[in-house]
Every structure is written in C-alpha cells, then in structure tokens.
C-alpha cells in the first residue's frame, strides 16, 4: 500500500500546475491532501475520477481556506469527517478512512505564524488532537496520521535551527509537544527509517528558499506502533513543485 501526503496550498492552483499528470505517475493507493482551499462544489472531480480515484472532502466553512481530502483507489469501509469538536471541525482539518482495522487520516495542523492568538489556538489544537487520537487508538490500533503538522521536531529538520528558534513551527513548546506525542506511542516514519537524513518538505516562497534548499520538514506520516512492523519505506518527493510544500510517501 502506497500512501502520499501533500499540502497542495490550493488544489485548483495545483491542478493548473500539472498536479493530475504528476498524480498519474505517482499512483498512490491513498492520497492525503491538505489546504485544498475549496468548497465541494468547486472540486475539479473529473481530473481525479479519470485516474480511478474516489474523493472524500472535508472543507472549511470559510471559503478559500484550509480543508483536507482523501483520494482513494479502493473504497473505505467508513469515512469519518472531523473530530467532533466544532471549534476545529469548522476549519476542515481532519478526515479519516477506515480499511478494516487500518485507518488513514489526512490532518492539517494550524499555523501560528499570523500572531499570538493563532499560536495559542495552535497549542490548544495540538493538545485536543493528541487526546483525540490517543483515545481513537484504543479502538483503531493501526493508525496512520498523515499531514502538515506545521512543526519541525529537531535541529536536523530545519535549515537554520538557531535563527528559527523563536519562530512558530520551531518553538520550544511545539517541539516539546511533538516529543510528548511520539512518547505517547506514535512513530515519525521518515525519521524512524532514515535517522540521519536531512530533507525538507516546505520552503518559503521568499528569498529563493527552495533553490537554496533553506527548508523545513513539517509534513509527516506518523503511525501507531502497531503499524511499525509493516513499514517498507518513507521518503520525500522534493522535485514535485505544485506547492510551497512537497509530498511525502509512506509504503507499507
């Protein structure tokens, strides 16, 4: 099973940049999208139906904002929209597909870069998300939690850890949250399989950051420990350029 997670920073914009053609070549069984930035009636379904995908969308109430989706080759047994918490679900940040005892999630964690209020919201979300998936794991042991976490965990995950130490996405409290989340029984598959590899999944559009590879690794395929024996590979597709992010692949 091949799973890809990709923050497309606007799905319609990505389509205009050749995203469907790229997807035909990448050919995942499950595609987890974040930041679709569209409502269901704006979804360009024909591009993906032609490739054999069934789509499940969970959009934000606010138009042109946030939103997650799952595109699947095989229809799931069940799809769950949101976490049952309106304050977060109104922003379209969590969708889950169940295949027997295996569950695949597309999740989009908030960014705190716009100011103190959103940073506080982000920290509240992180606590609520951890409680939710820890409880979910009791009934869904084999969890795959793919998406944009908007956090670099360690110095190896960011191009300039010293100067970014006071920036949202690499704050001590965010990194501490991720350490605690992993200690709770979740595994960062890329780092688990490639302990010393320094690769990124996001680059600012400013300062020619991508060309200079001044990036951040903020997109993850996390799994519960029950999935670890099934891991085949986890890798980053840095040459996909439909967004300021690039995709990450998990093979199980």
Catalytically active residues are: 148
- For CA atoms 81, 116, 36, 165, give the dihedral sign: negative
Inter-CA distances, 129 with 28, 84, 92, 94, 210, Å: 26, 11, 13, 9, 30
Tokens 């920073």 found at: 9
Strands of 113-226, DSSP E? 142-148, 186-188, 202-203, 215-216, 219-224
DSSP state of 141: -
Contact 221, 2 (CB under 8 A): no
Q: Which residues of 41-54 are buried (b: 16+ CB within 10 A; e: fewer)?
A: eebbeebbeeeebb
* 239 token code pair: 């040459």
SS3 91: coil
């Amino acid at each position: 099973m091949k799973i890809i997670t990709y923050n497309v920073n606007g799905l319609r914009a990505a389509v205009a940049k050749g995203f469907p053609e790229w997807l035909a070549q990448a050919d995942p069984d499950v595609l987890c999208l974040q930041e679709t930035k569209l409502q269901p009636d704006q979804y360009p379904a024909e591009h993906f139906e032609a490739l054999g995908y069934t789509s499940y969308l969970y959009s934000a109430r606010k138009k042109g904002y946030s939103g997650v989706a799952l595109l699947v080759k095989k229809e799931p047994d069940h799809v769950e929209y949101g976490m049952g918490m309106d304050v977060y679900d109104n922003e379209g940040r969590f969708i889950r597909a169940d295949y027997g005892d295996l569950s695949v999630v597309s999740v989009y964690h908030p960014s705190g870069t716009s100011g103190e209020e959103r940073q506080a919201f982000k920290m509240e979300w992180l606590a609520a998300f951890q409680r939710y998936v820890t409880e979910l794991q009791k009934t869904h042991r084999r969890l795959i939690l793919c998406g944009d976490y908007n956090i670099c965990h360690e110095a190896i995950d960011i191009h300039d850890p010293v100067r970014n130490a006071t920036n949202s996405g690499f704050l001590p409290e965010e990194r501490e949250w991720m350490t605690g989340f992993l200690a709770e029984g979740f595994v960062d598959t890329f780092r688990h399989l490639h302990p010393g590899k320094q690769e990124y999944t996001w680059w600012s559009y400013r300062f020619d950051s991508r060309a200079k590879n001044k990036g951040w690794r903020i997109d993850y395929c996390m799994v519960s420990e029950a999935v670890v024996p099934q891991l085949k590979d986890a890798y980053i597709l840095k040459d996909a350029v439909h967004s300021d992010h690039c995709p990450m692949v998990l093979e199980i």
